[in-house]
Amino acid sequence: MSDRTRAHVFVSGTVQGVYYRANTRERAGEHGVDGWVRNLPDGRVEAVFEGPTEAVESMVEWCWEGSPAANVEDVEAEYGEPRGIEGFEIRR
């Protein structure tokens, strides 16, 4: 079993226009997690986190907070094998 994992996350609620993506990128950098985050047309935020299992799980937990202005209603996470993403970006 690898000590690295990947989480594909969908966050629902008031999560767009509240610096959610910028805060996610900042937090991922602090945790040494690679991946990306983007807004979806339906109002959700989608993110992928790859890195040490503990750090990725910490990021998924943090998604419930997000940014101070966010009002998170739900976080769905699907775990899988890392695909070798390097760095963390905000996608448009």
Q: Which of 4, 6, 21, 27 is catalytic?
A: 21
- CB-based contacts of 6: which residues, under 8 Å, 6+ apart? 35, 48, 49, 50, 56, 79, 80, 81, 82, 83
- 23 catalytically annotated: no
Spot the catalytic one: 25, 38, 39, 92. 39
Alpha carbon distance 31, 16 (integer Å): 23
List active site positions.
21, 39
